[in-house]
Amino acid sequence: MSKARHNPLNSFAAHAALIAYTLIALFPVFVILINSFKTRKAIFRDPLALPDGDSFTMIGYQTVMKQGDFFLYFQNSMIVTVATLFFVLLFGAMAAFALAEYRFKGNMLMGLYLALGIMIPIRIGTVAILEMMVSTGLVNSLWALILVYTAQGLPLAVFILSEFMRQVSDDLKNAGRIDGLSEYTIFFRLVLPLVRPAMATVAVFNMIPIWNDLWFPLILAPAEETKTLTLGSQVFIGQFVTDWNAVLSALSMAILPVMILYVIFSRQLIRGITSGAVK
């Protein structure tokens, strides 16, 4: 394979393979998007054609806007994701700093304890989580989701951030200590700004699964006013199964925010994965 760099034929084959797979990866998204702008007749007559003057319509989007409360769903997803990321980053960085910086009894054990959650999915404990949320009255509130996702995100965050915090120079921290800075000031003023790239990586890793999760919104917060965008589109599409315009438009509207986030953060995400943050 490494001959490709000398051989134009192999290079051609490489591009052909990659283009073919790119088409496979993007085809469904493309089909959904173009058909969401077409009349019902055109959707069925010629599914692969682009919308033109005759077939263009926004009727699906109008139905979605009238029937579903997509702005509310979007807002809920946004609140849950942003709040979770805030807590995961703050708590995760603090714990990671404690594990990376201080020698104390049980440091190793604490690290292992926190790392358990990387491999064991939190969904296993759903029955007891629901019971707890019901008894504390948090069920059908966004707090239930924020708490669960924070707990789910912390293990990997602590793991990745403590790796990075070990690389922060001791001299810098000791200089701060000599200047009389408290440990808290050292953490917030000196260390946090230095691990900002790692924090961004953790944020991007957490963002997508939280935004896309269906299980916990379905179980912990299915009420109309707390539906997330993922659950909202699931329910909406389930009700409008036969209204193809509405279904395709709802799907497109669900794709849009994720795509925007992805375009903004894709470089960060890919750099995060390829820099070995998850090894």
Partner 1 sequence: MKKSGIKWHVVVFLAPAVLVYTAIMIFPLFNTLRLALYTEVDQVRQFAGLDNFRTLFGDAHWSGQFWNALGNNFWFFFVHMIVQNPIGIALAAILSHPRLRFAALYRTAIFVPTILSFVIVGFAWKLILSPIWGITPDMLKAVGLKWLYAPYLGKEEYALTTLALISVWQFVGIPMMLIYAALLTIPEEVLEAGEVDGITGFSAFWKIKLPLILPSIGIISILTFVGNFNAFDLIYTTQGALAGPAFSTDILGTFMYRTFFGFQLQLGDPHMGSAIASGMFGIILVGVCIYLFGIQTRLRRYQF
Tokens read off for 269: 């995400």
Residue range at the interface with partner 1 (CB under 8 A); choices 17-25, 68-76, 168-176, 190-198: 17-25
- List the one residue from 159, 246, 247, 249 that touches partner 1 (CB under 8 A): 247
Residue 43: count other Cβ atoms within 10 Å of its Cβ: 21
Pick the closest to residue 226 from 147, 139, 141 (CA basis).
141
- Using CB under 8 A, which of 125, 167, 174, 224 touches partner 1? 125
Distance, first Cα to last Cα, the chain: 26
Taking the C-alpha atoms of residue 173 and residue 101, their distance in angstroms, rounded to an integer, is: 10
Stretch 199-218: interaction string toward partner 1, x if CB under 8 A: ---------x--xxxxx---
Degrees (nearest 5) of the Cα angle 206, 209, 215?
135
Would you call 56 helix, strand, or coil by DSSP?
Answer: strand
Quick one: 120 or 175, whose CB is closer to partner 1? 120
* Chain residues 154-183 in contact with partner 1, contact rule CB under 8 A: 154-155, 158, 182-183
Single residue of 85, 114, 142, 202 touching partner 1 by CB under 8 A:
114
- The reply on whether position 66 binds partner 1 by CB under 8 A is no
C-alpha distances out from residue 208 to 21, 80, 81, 146, 159, Å: 23, 12, 9, 14, 19
- Window 72-111: contact mask with partner 1 (x via CB under 8 A): ---------------x--xxx-xx-xxx--x-x-----x-
Site for partner 1 in 24-43 (CB under 8 A): 24-26, 28-29, 31-32, 43
Count of residues of this chain found to bind partner 1 when the rule CB under 8 A is applied: 94
Tell the smallest beta-carbon distance from residue 107 to partner 1 (Å): 9
Rounded to whole angstroms, the Cα distance separating 65 from 181 reads: 54
